[in-house]
Amino acid sequence: MQASLERYLKSKAYPKSIIRDREFLNSRKVLEGKARKLREQGEGKRPNRSRSLTTEEEEVPWQNSQLGGGTPRALLNTMWWLLTQHFGRRGRQEHHQMKVENFTLQRDDDGNEFLTFAEGPTKTRQGGVSVKTRLVTPKMFATGNEERCPAMLFKRYLGRRPGEMKKSGSFYLTVIDKPVSSVWYKKTTPMGKNTINTIMKNVKENSPLKDL
């Protein structure tokens, strides 16, 4: 939760860090005290249980070029990373069912560009009158950071897809590791669910995060 708040505040150009700066020392002490109490009650960290990365750890794959727009695989990894964070995509099935046409680039009244995702029915969300819809539509805003701007990276990913698949088709396509043209992804080969499921694992394995 702290990492999510930190990301949001950074996106709004808030000058302080809730994780590092002294102004938030008391809140960190309260959090640590609560964590200590839970550990005393046997609710400590479990060795094989996954956990969220800290803000500092999230920097590692960017610095290690596992995320970014420089290579086909890094760009696809980044799409997975951003869509997981901003649109709450978690399971491999949810990612696998994504289509390019589910996304829409828009601008708000102030001219800020953002991306929305139109969630369609899945095996676990079949729709119908009894299904609760999201009260707030998630949005992924442009940040102006050329290297990490979500909107810019999304458009770069679309631009690197085969011509006839820039506006439609499976969102995740198989990577061409050594492209010989501006096309970085295979037209006829959507990425499989099992491969999508290993994206974060591979990001960690190919960076200093592998020991976490």
If asked whether residues 69 and 118 sit together in one domain, one would say yes
If asked whether residues 74 and 22 sit together in one domain, one would say no
If asked whether residues 83 and 146 sit together in one domain, one would say yes
If asked whether residues 108 and 26 sit together in one domain, one would say no
Cα 86 off chain centre by: 6
Q: How many CA atoms lie within 13 A of 205 on its CB side?
A: 5
User: Can you tell me whether residue 139 is helix, strand or coil?
Assistant: strand
If asked whether residues 11 and 78 sit together in one domain, one would say no
Residue 165 domain-assigned (yes or no)? yes
pLDDT in tens, the chain (212 residues): 787 888 888 888 888 888 888 888 888 888 888 887 877 776 655 544 556 777 788 888 999 899 999 999 999 999 999 999 888 877 788 899 999 999 999 999 989 999 999 875 444 444 443 344 455 678 899 988 778 999 999 999 999 999 999 999 999 999 998 999 999 999 888 999 999 999 988 988 887 777 65
Domain holding 102, by residue range, is: 65-211
State the pTM of this model.
0.69
CA distance linking residue 36 with residue 44, whole number of Å: 8
CATH number of residue 189's parent domain: 1.10.443.10
